[in-house]
Amino acid sequence: MTAATHSTLFPRVPDSADAVLEGLDPEQREVATALHGPVCVLAGAGTGKTRAITHRIAYGVRAGILPTSSVLAVTFTNRAAGEMRGRLRQLGAGGVQARTFHSAALRQLQYFWPKAIGGSMPRLVDRKVQLVADAAAACRIRLDRGELRDVTAEIEWSKVTQTVPADYALAAAKAGREAPRSPAEIAQLYAAYEDLKRDRAVIDFEDVLLLTVAVLQDRHDIADQVRAQYQHFVVDEYQDVSPLQQRLLDLWLGDRDNLCVVGDASQTIYSFTGATPDHLLDFRVRHPKATVVKLVRDYRSSPQVVHLANGLLSQARGRAADHRLELVSQRGPGPEPGYTEYPDEPAEAEGAARRIRALLDSGVPASEIAVLYRTNAQSETYEQALADAGIPYQLRGAERFFDRPEVRKAGIALRGAARFGGNDALLDEAVDLPSQVRAVLSGEGWTPQPPAGSGAVRERWESLAALVNLAQDFAAARPGATLGDLVAELDERAGAQHAPTVQGVTLASLHSAKGLEWDAVFLVGVAEGMMPISYARTDEQIEEERRLLYVGVTRARSHLQLSWSLARSPGSCPNRRPSRFLDGLRPGSGSGTGRTGAAAPGGIERGIPGRGSIATPRRAQRTPARCRVCGRTLTDAGEMKLMRCEDCPSDMDEGLYERLRDWRAVQARRSGQPAFCVFTDKTLMAIAEAAPDDEGELARIPGVGVRKLNRYGAEVLAICAGQDPGTGDESD
């Protein structure tokens, strides 16, 4: 049973205000009962901050001190807001508004637009990249894809810091921004972007905040109406507020001080978007009479993980470091963090896959394992390694659970059964709620046993299995619940985006992993140039990178593996070294800090391709990857698969490429996997260009590992030779 479908998700609603306080530790209880005046909660990672503030709101509501409609709780992501709404509902305070800053502002702007401005509100654009591209074209400035993304980020930063185009150059210099183009060009693009929005009558997400601020500043009658509605405010992740969000919060508050903020300066990792911990650190200056509560009891991580996390922060410098919290683990002991050095990135990915397979075999659910990296560009290597090992995975930020087609269809089927189940023969032998759900979902593709493979068929089954598990826990927590009750529960969860967990190892960037946790975490690429990232040069930037690694470490409950590679590509010069952040903490790196005053126990493993806790065939000897056209050493993953530079001419056999694609489609259909799990497009292109004659030549193509060579090699070589590959048995 996964954590997200555990029966604790369906606790009985507390029967009184005092019952809401049961189970809180002394500091959490202090937060929950501090209902008047300004309150500042300094909460370390894993210390139960969401528990503390949701119990605070629920206690105030249940005690009759906080009217439900008078409370506005704001946070930074839809997921966090959904989790907060779900917890409040379980505590009997379901009517409280819990939203993101943007969602709350948009709701107010839509309501007051006719009164404040008149007419219809402009259309909100989801993505501003195309508008930025059009602005660049209007300015006759050519931007490549990377520059387009970076210019868009500069415009977003400018708006949340309330910087107009004319002031961009000065503000960027003062903030130490490294712009992708000259400041004058950025300012020109920013101004053109704003002109285009006006011409097209559209607004972006930053405009939502800016316009709401403008309305509340200019229309005192509207500001008074908002303040009459909301009299108590709770702000989660307060270390991440931007100047614009703080301005909006000030306007919501007016001259009142019924404000509770929660944050941790050591988890400030979004300064590039305009976030700053200064508002959190200066809270006592702005509110001298504030109640300040520190949460340091870590309920998430083992003492070994907490020791490493504290060690990382003990070496930090700067203002945020001066306010760091020393965590105290409340869990029993676990394994020591592991450190592994690999010759190159593919070997590092293969090593992680082997260790993950060992964890799966030991009983750790796939949904409780994560691979975290510094940049999204690193994911492809790990996707390939996990696919090669037959391990299901999911990319963080993919389609929302309740938006998946199979989940929507399942919801329709369950709703129909709830209404007309008495006439459905399918339910004749279903004696309880779980068996009813299993019967209905069997018609949508659910089976008692999961299908083979790790592709789309398996993903659909996992979605349906999550609903089956949810029904089992719902029935166990609420005996006598009907199918209609479950449908209502699913509707509420969909509205809150409170999804059950889908089985699959999570691949995520460190930034997107904020606020999440797993039993086992693999922190990969922990080397100089990646952690800290190469473009982090100032002391402030370096310290933010340290905090980012701290966030990664504190995502782990028990198992934690840190790894790095000496080179990017096989056979290239091994000129990398482990991250400076691990100095004094990893074995053999000198004296450290913490409990014993020495470096962590254990040693650094030397990862060798094909060797580890699971016996696998060893790859062929790695040699430097060079372009077969111009001879240049290749470092880009896509170019390494093609074995040529992207710009070098291709001699690909188009007919062979199409035959390989047709063959791949058949293999994917038979195994129930996405096509890329058979071979990626780049690998097929590389095969079509090389047209290998034997297994040795085929094995030298990146993306063709030992497992795939054994499984598909004979058929691929037959296709390359112009022969019919035949129809062998694809089960293995």
Looking up tokens 């907490």, which residue turns up?
A: 306
The annotation status of 603 as a binding-site residue, yes or no, is: no
Distances (CA, A) of 661 to 637, 668, 674, 677, 728: 21, 10, 13, 13, 17
Q: Is the peptide bond before 532 cis (omega within 30 degrees of 0)?
A: yes
8 A C-beta contact, residue 15 and residue 524:
no
Measured distance CA(47)–CA(301) in Å, rounded: 10
Report the distance separating Cα 681 and Cα 697, nearest Å.
18
If you write DSSP's letter for every residue of 448-505 in order, what string do you get? SSPPSSSSHHHHHHHHHHHHHHHHHHHHHHSTT--HHHHHHHHHHHHHHT-PPPPSSE
Q: Which of 209, 240, 260 is nearest to 50 (CA)?
A: 260
Query: Is 370 within 8 Å of 521 (Cβ atoms)?
Result: yes
Q: b or e along 394-417 (b: 16 or more beta carbons within 10 Å of the residue's beta carbon)?
A: bbbeeeebbebebbebbbebbbeb
| Residue 111 in tokens | 């309501």
| Residue 238 DSSP label | G
The response to whether 100 counts as a known ligand-binding position is no
Length of the chain: 732
Instruction: Give Cα 35 distance to the centre of its chain.
Output: 32
| Separation between Cα atoms, residue 100 and residue 367, nearest integer Å | 26
**DSSP letter (8 states) at residue 377:** G
Q: How large is the C-alpha radius of gyration of the chain?
A: 28
Q: Is 558 left (phi over 0), alpha (psi -120 to 50) or beta?
A: alpha
Q: Strand (E) positions, 328-437?
A: 328-329, 338-342, 369-373, 393-395
Residue 646, class by beta-carbon neighbours within 10 Å (0-12 exposed, 13-18 middle, 19+ buried)?
A: exposed
Is 390 annotated for ligand binding?
A: no
Q: Under a CB-based contact definition with an 8 Å cutoff, are residues 28 and 21 in contact?
A: no
43 is in an annotated binding site: yes
State the Cα–Cα distance between residues 58 and 41, nearest whole angstrom: 17
Whole-number Å distance between alpha carbons of 173 and 40: 32
Counts for the chain of helices (H) and strands (E), in that order: 29, 17
Residue 644: name the closest of 625, 661, 658 by CA.
Answer: 625
How deeply is 244 buried, as exposed, middle or buried, from its count of CB atoms within 10 A (0-12, 13-18, 19+)? Answer: buried
Element holding 689 (H helix, E strand) = helix 681-690
Is 50 annotated in a binding site? The answer is yes
The set of residues, in sequence order, having a beta carbon less than 8 Å from that of 441 and lying 6+ positions away, is 410, 413, 414, 464, 467, 468
> Is the separation of the CB atoms in 285 and 32 below 8 Å?
no
Q: Does 44 show up as a binding residue in the annotation?
A: yes
- Check the annotation: does 633 bind a ligand: no
User: How far is it between the farthest Cα atoms of the chain?
Assistant: 82
Report DSSP state, residue 353: H
To the question of whether residue 727 is assigned a binding role by annotation, the answer is no
For strands 369-373 and 297-298, give the pairing: unpaired
- Determine how many CB atoms are found less than 10 A away from the CB of residue 362: 10
Residues annotated within a binding site: 43-50
Residues annotated within a binding site for ATP: 43-50
